[in-house]
Amino acid sequence: MIDFPPASSRQLVILGATGSIGTSTLDVVARHPERYSVFALTAYRDTESLAHLCLRHSPRYAVMADETAAGELRRLLRNASCQTEVLGGAQALCEVARAPEAHMVMAAIVGAAGLEPTLAAVRAGKKVLLANKEALVMSGRLFMEAVASSNACLLPIDSEHNAIFQALPDDYRRDPDASGIRRILLTASGGPFRGTPLAALETVSPEDACAHPVWAMGRKISVDSATMMNKGLEVIEAHWLFGLPANRIEVVVHPQSIIHSMVDYIDGSVVAQLGNPDMRIPIAHAMAWPARIGSGVGALDFFGISALDFERPDFERFPCLALAYRALEAGGSAPAALNAANEEAVQAFLNRRLGFRRIADVIAATLERAERREASTIDAVLEIDALAREIARAEISKRSTP
């Protein structure tokens, strides 16, 4: 157990500081030094980027999930005369996430690796800014029960879920019927392949998939956007955050990414949140909630918007979206298995071992082969994750490109 010295002001922990969400969060922090300071920054292995952020933002702690990388970061900061203390290992991520000095935690570690530190922050009753959708996908019921029992404040950072949060009544308590909600509408850009001929998707490269037309994101999330698995994971996340069943969560392809999502009420009203496509908007909203602060994003130019287009998603083009709906309806261990298979398949694609169209094939085969069970404990969730990864790797081997 780390003995944290007392802090003199509200402080922020950023889990996954070197990614796009982490750096956008630090941009907002830097605009409001009178409100926020940085308690801890974390990364996995990117020592140079985290060292740069430590020199700029002077956190009390820096954590590398990889122990070897922690040693390298210590050397870099010592040579730069930086006083930030470096910690290493997965347990240290959990320690800084639940440290009593931390007022809020930005949970921005991508993938299953973010589950345990995010849960540590929730169980400590923190204000948790949730950008790690996989935590809810893998352990939705357990996660939401932990939020309720700890009285943590959970605020969504995904632009779509943050938009829904803003469009809901202030006293909303995950009961759509009590609030007159008919459905929620999750918008999706459609990614880089919305209009690409299906036959051409057989030969797309990682570079093609990562060239998102609107958003600047990390490589894994960019591929998820290209397959629309990102939207499928968001459907599952929306189910747990807002309490609607799968058949009342509808995906709407909206290429301009100006409307970030909508809530459809039974009286015929549709309440939408609009803004420029910049993640600093939901980040600033959640950091200051229930107040508002400047995010650094300019005002939306309505006169410069030539059109707002909407399309139904094509499940033949985006089979991963259909698989996510199937996993949500199946419940139990299916969403965790879906997420594990997707992470393995996307990494194989990025490593050029798997074709783009085979990502969905690997996920579908994994869901068919994975044993169905209840995700009743975190240990059970992690076991489901590990077993699904084994199955997915075997399926990838069958389909590997030379």
Interval 104-163: pLDDT, tens: 999 999 888 899 999 999 999 999 999 988 889 999 999 999 999 999 999 999 999 999
- pLDDT over 60 (residue 3): no
Interval 290-347: pLDDT, tens: 999 999 999 999 999 989 999 999 999 999 999 999 999 999 999 999 999 999 999 9
Residue 375's pLDDT band (boundaries 50, 70, 90)?
confident
Cis omega (within 30 of 0) for bond into 100: no
pLDDT given at position 347? 96
Q: What is the model's pTM?
A: 0.92
pLDDT given at position 9? 55
35-61 in b/e burial notation, b at 16+ Cβ within 10 A?
ebbbbbbbbbebbebbbebbeebebbb
Tell me phi and psi for residue 85, to 5 degrees. -85, 135
Interval 100-116: pLDDT, tens: 999 999 999 988 889 99
pLDDT given at position 166? 98
Task: Find the mean pLDDT for residues 207-226.
Answer: 84
CA 366: distance to chain centroid?
A: 22
Task: Find the mean pLDDT for residues 16-25.
Answer: 95
Task: Find the mean pLDDT for residues 229-251.
Answer: 97
Residue 7's pLDDT band (boundaries 50, 70, 90)?
very low
CATH number of 11-156: 3.40.50.720
pLDDT given at position 5? 42
- pLDDT over 70 (residue 349): yes
End-to-end C-alpha distance for the chain, whole angstroms: 47
The full length of the chain comes to: 402
pLDDT given at position 113? 87
The strands making up 181-188's β-sheet, listed across from edge to edge, are 249-253, 181-188, 259-265, 270-274
Domain ranges of the chain: 11-156
Burial degree of 104 (CB within 10 A; 0-12, 13-18, 19+): buried
Burial degree of 78 (CB within 10 A; 0-12, 13-18, 19+): exposed
CA pair distance 216, 131, nearest whole angstrom: 15
Task: Find the mean pLDDT for residues 377-383.
Answer: 91
Average pLDDT, the chain: 93
Q: What is the three-state SS of 217-268? A: CCHHHHHHHHHCHHHHHHHHHHHHHHCCCHHHEEEEECCCCCEEEEEEECCC
pLDDT given at position 402? 62
Find out whether 255 and 222 touch, Cβ atoms under 8 Å: no
The H or E element that residue 154 is part of is: strand 153-156
Interval 277-304: pLDDT, tens: 999 999 999 999 999 999 999 999 999 9
CA 305: distance to chain centroid?
A: 28
Interval 163-187: pLDDT, tens: 999 999 999 999 999 999 999 999 9
Find tokens 């290992």 and name the residue. 89
